[in-house]
Amino acid sequence: MNIELFSYDLPDNLIAQKPLDKRDESRLMVLNRNDNSIKHLHFYDIPNFITEDDLLVLNTSKVIPARLLGKKKGYEREVEVLLIRPLEGDLWEALVRPGKKLKPGDSVTISESPHFIVDIVDYGKDGNRIVKLNYEGDFHETLERVGKMPLPPYIERESTEFDKERYQTIYCNQEGSVAAPTAGLHFTEEILKKLSDKRVSKAEVVLHVGIGTFRPVKCENIEDHVMHYEQYEITTENAKAINEALDKGKRIIAVGTTSLRTLEGAAYYDNEKKGYRVKEGSGETDIFIYPGYEFKIVKALVTNFHLPKSTLLMLVSAFYDREEILKAYNTAVNDKYRFFSYGDAMMII
């Protein structure tokens, strides 16, 4: 399948550079797969499309301030280290810039007080580096002080303290992502309360968003693309809640492509139940979903608008229909929706 099938034209001025003042005032496009209809609403309308016969699945991963700026001895310019995946101990896989100036044996001073130094240990895959972190105190507390939020490259400004709040969902609780599960950014306490009042059930999964978010698909044939592994977890309690919902015939609604990938990656066929279930546990997934994939668990999806030729656009094309998705995207462009991480939302039912 050729990558050009997932292209569309997007004016730069529709790429959201910052969030709206209120999370739930973003626009919401609702796509109905039964009749191919499109509704134009706002995110605060989403409770109207969710009932007690649904199970809402949220990804509770929390973005860490993984972008580290510092100095290398003997080099005048500022250098950058982006932590992308923990390995063992204080070792991490990282992206570095400029790559030619940061080689094994080099050290980058991020902060003198608190003490935080990054040692370049080895080369990794795809031009990445293996780095060792030297710091004082609690890792996450120190990182919170010295690191910056890793905003995507299409947001053409420096991150601020404001982003440390708004580039997180209100329900995040598990540190580990280097990019936000952005569909969840629209949810507010008011929306969650309305859903609770409607007796809508919820379950939680964790998928730490990794380097795949930043990597473009470079293969002409998308089937040749290899996804990077991302860490996930479904606890015993949450697996039970999801499987009980499946037993009752509830519609599973994934909030975000990360929740969807977690559920589909953990799916297995239960011969006794004669249907698909999700298995509890933790591990790594590199599931790549594109048209032709048969969905096993998820029946509805809340998501944002994704980059042209991206794996996420391929995923939503698989969930609905490639031509219908591109029609919807062109409609969104014509109606001046806001795109990408801080942009507007879509619900596919």
Residues 172 and 191 reside in one and the same domain: yes
Final residue of a structural domain among 93, 113, 147: 147
Residues 208 and 129 reside in one and the same domain: no
Residues 206 and 330 reside in one and the same domain: yes
For residue 284, give the CATH number of its domain: 3.40.1780.10
Residues 96 and 199 reside in one and the same domain: no
Residues 291 and 206 reside in one and the same domain: yes
Residue 154 lies in a domain: no
Q: What range defines the domain where residue 256 resides?
A: 3-63+166-348
How far CA 98 is from CA of 81, 102, 308, in Å, comes to 9, 7, 27
How far CA 121 is from CA of 79, 96, 129, in Å, comes to 16, 12, 7
Residues 344 and 222 reside in one and the same domain: yes
The pLDDT of residue 214 is 62
Residue 267 lies in a domain: yes
Residues 72 and 202 reside in one and the same domain: no
Residue 161 lies in a domain: no
Q: Are 120 and 105 in contact (CB under 8 A)?
A: yes
Residues 213 and 101 reside in one and the same domain: no
Residues 89 and 24 reside in one and the same domain: no
Residue 160 lies in a domain: no
Residue 158 lies in a domain: no
Show Cβ contacts of residue 57 under 8 Å, excluding neighbours closer than 6 positions: 202, 203, 204, 205, 242, 252, 253, 254, 255, 259, 263, 298
For residue 142, give the CATH number of its domain: 2.40.10.240
Residues 45 and 71 reside in one and the same domain: no
Residue 24 lies in a domain: yes
> Residue 314 and residue 298: Cα distance in Å, rounded?
16
Residues 301 and 341 reside in one and the same domain: yes
Q: Other CB atoms closer than 10 Å to residue 170's CB: what's the count?
A: 14
Return per-residue pLDDT of the chain as tens, 349 residues: 999 999 999 999 999 999 999 999 999 999 999 999 999 999 999 999 999 999 999 999 999 999 999 999 999 999 999 999 899 999 999 999 999 999 999 999 999 999 999 999 999 988 899 999 999 999 999 999 999 999 999 999 999 999 999 999 999 999 999 999 999 999 999 999 999 999 999 999 999 998 776 677 989 999 999 898 899 999 999 999 999 999 999 999 999 999 999 999 999 999 999 999 999 999 999 999 999 999 999 999 999 999 999 999 999 999 999 999 999 999 999 999 999 999 999 999 9
Three-state SS at 24: helix
Residues 34 and 89 reside in one and the same domain: no
Total of domains in the chain: 2
Q: Which of 270, 61, 81, 77 is nearest to 171 (CA)?
A: 61
